[in-house]
Copies of this chain bind each other. A is one copy, B any other.
Amino acid sequence: MADLRFFDCKGPFTAGELSALSGASLKGDSMLIIDNVTSLDQAQSSHVSFLDNRRYIDDFEKSQAGLCLIHPDLVDRAPKGMSLLITETPYMAYAKIARAFYPAQMTPSRISEHAHIDTSSRIGEGVCIEAGAHISENVIIGDRTWIKHNAVISKGVKIGNDCIISSNVTLSHSNIGNSVIIHPGCQIGQDGFGFASGPEGHVRIPQLGRVIIHDHVNIGANTAIDRGAGPDTLIGAGTQIDNLVQIGHNVQIGMGCVLVSQCGISGSTKIGNYVVIAGKAGISGHVNIGDGVTIAAKAGVMNDIAAGLTVGGFPAIPQKAWLRQISAVRKLVKNKK
């Protein structure tokens, strides 16, 4: 259960209120008082929990939770006495309930006297800038944005409203939209990996583009996003990026994509909308990935991928073909014996 040293609980809510705000149908007493959210195995009678990944159905059947979000299929497997919130999308409903108990922390609206803020910068209303943060010339920061300790915002950067720029982040040559969250240790806007090689060695090419990040993007810890070489590097609205991801110069990523930890996208590649790139996958430079593509974990994509495909392996091919290859190689060993 959430440790109160770190989190402020806005509960309790009644089961009826939770039904209303999540859109799930209540089976049970609407006046039941629920004072917290927690996992199935730790929940008590005053808690709400959820079952989404069916790997955990045993935990559900043994859970002491007073109230549980559950798919209609599984209502019959509920333990006796548990009230239910029934929905086709228990994980989304849990998201809404958890956000009601634990809303995103508000910006405290305070400019530390130990922050370093250039007088040419323009700072919005209700902004928080913590000690040790650096705001350079001509930076523009929107309303209610939170710049945490030791974040470095270089000259000319524009940040929208309601953003969080975490500690030990460096931001340069960038335009950041609204409601963007950048987790600690991200480095965004530095030179891309561009040089011409010849007898005189590797000659660095000025990187003259920017990084453009649209609204509602989340970027995980220690991720690196290089600015464009001439065109811009773009991240579309609502895209979710995990930790330790590499995004090269000129990469364009569409809306609503999901980039899982340690994946990497080489320069000038274009990614459509709603693309999922699983952990440790890599994509070559200068290729086009269509809308709705899924790239499996550890895949290596070397060519364009048409919209809607799921690919895996290296070099990446349609996932089913890759699974057949794995199976064929296994049989090969068996036959050898």
Which A residues are closer than 8 A to B by beta carbons? 1-3, 5-7, 37-39, 42, 53, 55, 89, 91-92, 94-96, 98-99, 101-102, 104, 114, 116, 130-132, 134, 138, 148-150, 152, 155-156, 166-170, 172-173, 181, 183-187, 190-191, 193, 195-198, 200-206, 208-210, 216, 218, 220-224, 226, 230-231, 238, 240, 242-244, 246, 248, 256, 258, 260-262, 264, 266, 279-280, 282, 284, 286, 297-298, 300, 314-315, 321, 324-326, 328-330, 332-333, 336
Contacts and interface: CB of A to CB of B under 8 A. Distances in A.
Contacts of A218: 195, 202, 204
A4 to B, nearest CB: 9
Contact of A226 (B155, B205, B221): B221
Nearest to A98: B206
A333 B321 contact: yes
22 contacts: A2-B209, A3-B156, A5-B156, A6-B155, A38-B230, A89-B198, A92-B203, A116-B131, A134-B150, A148-B152, A149-B152, A152-B168, A166-B170, A168-B168, A190-B221, A201-B216, A220-B224, A222-B244, A226-B243, A279-B282, A324-B336, A325-B332
A282 B315 CA distance: 17
Nearest to A321: B333
A94 B194 CA distance: 12
Contact of A99 (B53, B89, B206, B280): B206
B284 A264 contact: no
Contacts of A328: 329, 332-333, 336
